[in-house]
Amino acid sequence: MTSTASSLVRPHGGGPLQPLLLTGAALTAEKARAAGLPLVTISSREAGDLIMLGIGGFTPLAGFMGKADWQGVCDTMHLANGLFWPIPVTLSTDEQTAGSIALGSDVALFDPERGEVLATMTVTEKYGIDKAHECQTVFKTTDAAHPGVKMVMEQGAVNLAGPVRVLSDGGFPAEYGELYHTPAEARALFEAKGWKTVAAFQTRNPMHRSHEHLVKIAIETMDGVLIHSLLGNLKPGDIPADVRSKAISALIDQYFVKDTVVQSGYPLDMRYAGPREALLHALFRQNYGCSHLIVGRDHAGVGDFYGPFDAQKIFEEIPKGALETQPLKIDWTFWSFRTGGMASARTCPGDAKDHLLISGTKLRKMLSEGEDVPVEFSRPEVLAILREYYAGLDESQKVKVELKGHSAR
């Protein structure tokens, strides 16, 4: 629970954090009850959403959305009760399974990847959706080449809605230890440090020079920065979380002033929804206690589905007061050969020929193909860890990295 005397931003909705993970005797009893309930198998994305519900990251949601909430979120980015929410949080199943479940009954939500029941749910609603409508409103495309569209189109035909009781933390605390914090733990950490203004830096990549530059810009104006790395599933070719965390730790140890940043992770899968996902990133960072979200080029985008700064512009399109967490907008960043350091389009004169544009996709491509990486691209301690990872991959594990959209510039 969050103290009313907290100097941090309030959880979304203005009330206390609402973690849905049971503990103690209640957890033991519900696990025993779950053993006798019908099983509904869930996807990796739904499992990540459940774990976020469990830790309070999706405060104030009480479970998976019903049709009115789904429709409102798609069309206006608001729940039926008027609260701002930018992306549907839904659970689907096949028609046969849905037909066997009576409204008002309880089911156990089974995660096949972990081989465990993550939650129980009281099914209050069963409904079909227009998947193409969700894709067009949320992702701005119905192109099956978009990984988020593919994810939605492969969902079951029927959505199940209702409150959940979460039974597992997904193993994240055990696997990541001090690199994993719940919203309540992050808030306690920030308050212990005396931080009031905290910028979150969202990343699914090891940090290269542009990332380092973005975080250091934020450090200049904030009390601290939360380097918040995605621990859920990524797309093929992305660098796994354990390698990424090790590389980020090396960067922090060597190139940041002590106690200016906190590295942590969160359990969601990427949706690659670009602008709408930037809003979701800001929303749950508000629950973590962050006053700002760093929004740079092509935040949460994929390929060339979004403009490089669409994720910044969308914050101007939502109602004032929809979110307490605000964007920290930063322009194109690059290595300037003219000035001999990192710069941005707002701070550095000169022609494009004097600029080395740095992207995680370019870095992955060079490393996966065994190319030399320019010293301006990434710190040597980071590159050593990444080269070791790529050297350990066999041919079947290698994914061809293609430069598309803004990363190809």
Q: Which residues are catalytic?
A: 204-205
CA distance 309 to 301: 10
CA distance 243 to 387: 11
Query: Dihedral of the CA atoms 205, 304, 153, 244 (nearest 10)?
Result: 0
Contact by Cβ (8 Å): 62, 20: yes
CA distance 401 to 361: 7
For tokens 């190809």, the residue is: 408
Contact by Cβ (8 Å): 382, 249: no
- The backbone region for 173, taken as left when phi is positive above 0, alpha when psi lies in -120 to 50, beta otherwise, is alpha
CA neighbours closer than 13 Å in the CB half-sphere of residue 370:
5
Bond from prior residue into 240 cis (ω within 30 degrees of 0): no
CA distance 336 to 332: 12
The 10 Å CB-count burial string (b at 16+, else e) for 49-85 is bbbbbbbbbbbbbebbbbbebbbbbbeebbbeeebbb
Three-class SS of residue 66? coil
CA distances from 268 to 134, 200, 374 (A): 19, 15, 32
Q: Residue 221 corresponds to which amino acid? A: T
Tell me which DSSP letter residue 144 carries: T
Three-class SS of residue 126? strand
